[in-house]
Amino acid sequence: MNTDLKNSLAQPPRWRATLLALVAAVLLQVLILVALPARKALTLANGRPVLLKVEPVDPYSILSGYYVTLGYPISRPEAFANGNEFKHQERIYAIIERGEDGFWKPLTLARELPRELAENQLAIYGQVEYRRIEYGIETLYIPETRRHAVAEDLRLHRESAFVEVKIDAAGNAALERLHVADRVYE
């Protein structure tokens, strides 16, 4: 290892070429960091707000390290009229409809983004994963100091738990915040 370290230090590349290459490399890193949340950020900025009830995924594993795994009525394929027509890893658009209580409910699944929907309807892009549908809104990261509080709140007040989600015109969803027992986690 000593020889490797010595060799790597012994032959410095020319500084101008090194600077250009390093700038390009760091720009790539910045680009990756910007691209990573870009779609979520745009969806949060421009998306239409939607309220979804929270359902238990695994009551024995609400808290997985520093995040909670959330499930919704729209996570179950059987909740949709044609849910059994779709198989594992199939990409879908879930059509949901706003109920009278303000919460959005599952309606039907489609393989293409519907061109026209009623005013009280929306399409969310997702993927069938075995017996569930994932929309990219299943994970909520929790600060270290509030981890046990949110786990306890979800255990005691799951019926009243709901999330605020934003959905853009293409069906992309972004999780905004979680409400449990008059407390907000975001």
Partner 1 sequence: MFPRQNQSAKFRAALKNELPLWVEHGVISEAEARRLSDAYQLEALRAESSRLLSAVIFTVGGLLLGGGLLSLVAANWDELSRPLKLTILFAALLGFHTSGYLLWQRAGWRRLGEALLFAGCLVFGANIGLIAQTYNISGDWYGAFGAWAVGSLAVAWALRSWVIGLLALFTSFIWFTGFHNDGYDNISFLYPLAVAGTVLPLAMAAHSRVLNVGGWLGILIAVCVFAGDDGSAKQLLLAMTAAGLLVWAVGNLHRLYGWRQELANSTAALGLTTLATGAYFLSLHAVWEEAQARQLRVVFCLTLLALALAAAIAVLLRARATAQRLAFGVLAVAVLLCGSVLLALDATRLDVLFTIIANLAALLLAAIIIAIGIGEERRVPFWLGSVYVVLLVLSRFLEYETSLLLKAAAFLGCGIAVILAGIRYETYLRRQDPPPPVSQTSPTEVAL
Binding site for partner 1 (CB under 8 A): 1-9, 11-13, 15, 18-19, 21-22, 24-26, 28-30, 32-33, 36-37, 40-41, 44, 66-67, 89, 134, 136-141, 143-146, 174-175
The CB-of-134 to partner 1 minimum distance in angstroms stands at 8
Q: How far is the CB of 99 from partner 1 (least distance, A)?
A: 24
- If the CB atoms of residues 72 and 107 are measured against partner 1, the closer one turns out to be 72
Which residues have C-beta within 8 Å of that of residue 18, sequence separation ≥ 6? 12
Residue 15 CA: distances (Å) to CA of 7, 11, 19, 20, 109: 17, 11, 6, 9, 57
Between 11 and 116, CB nearer to partner 1: 11
Considering the complex, state which of residue 12 and residue 59 has its C-beta at the smaller distance from partner 1.
12
Q: Bridge partners of 167?
A: 48, 173
Would you give the DSSP letter of residue 172?
Answer: -
Smallest gap, in angstroms, from Cβ of residue 118 to partner 1?
29
Query: Where do the DSSP E strands lie in the chain?
Result: 48-53, 63-64, 67-69, 91-98, 104-110, 121-129, 132-134, 139-141, 162-167, 173-180, 183-185
6 vs 115, beta carbon nearer partner 1: 6
Neighbours of 156 (CB within 10 A): 11
Q: Is the dihedral of CA 75, 78, 83, 84 positive or negative?
A: positive
Q: What is the DSSP letter of 182?
A: T
CB of residue 1 vs partner 1: minimum separation in angstroms? 6
Least separation in angstroms between residue 2's CB and partner 1 is 5
Q: Between 62 and 107, whose beta carbon lies closer to partner 1?
A: 62
